[in-house]
Amino acid sequence: MRFLLMMHTPRGSGDYQHRSWVPADWDAHMAYLQRLNADLASAGELVGIEALTPPAQAKLVRASGPGMAADTDGPFPETKEFLAGFWVVDVESAERAYEIAATASAAPGPGGTPLNMPIEVRQVMRGPNVDV
């Protein structure tokens, strides 16, 4: 079963909050996530992982009508949080996906305190195979 684990973080100013952290806290945070990623890879559960640019660089795009140029807005949708990055994992059960998400959520922040970031977990739907 494949799951998408989406890391959400407070919207704030449109930049990542870690930019105000002391370097040791950032290093500890990244080391934690790198260990998690290495563990998932060695277990054969990691399909992919991506980090996203800060939301201040994002644009929301909506078509303005058939054949019409798109309208852009942004960088934020109407929300208090934004998507910072995601993992795609291939695991035996939803419970394992939740376990991984909880581990990611507990990544340390300033002073080593767990951030308890919300990690949205959604199963990836599979449709019929289509030759492209």
Burial zone of 130 (CB within 10 Å; 0-12 exposed, 13-18 middle, 19+ buried) = exposed
pLDDT in tens, 88-127: 999 999 999 999 999 999 999 999 999 998 899 999 997 7
The pLDDT of residue 21 is 87
Q: What is the mean pLDDT of residues 2-9?
A: 92
The pLDDT of residue 29 is 93
Domains for the chain: give ranges and CATH numbers: 2-56+74-123 (3.30.70.1060)
The pLDDT of residue 82 is 77
Q: What is the mean pLDDT of residues 24-39?
A: 95
- The beta strand positions in the chain, using DSSP E, are 2-10, 46-51, 60-63, 70-73, 81-90, 119-123
Q: Does the pLDDT value for residue 6 go beyond 60?
A: yes
Instruction: Report the predicted TM-score, pTM, of the whole model to 2 decimal places.
Output: 0.80
pLDDT in tens, 47-82: 999 998 887 777 777 777 777 666 565 555 555 677
- The beta strand positions in 11-91, using DSSP E, are 46-51, 60-63, 70-73, 81-90
More confident call, 74 vs 40: 40
The pLDDT of residue 73 is 59
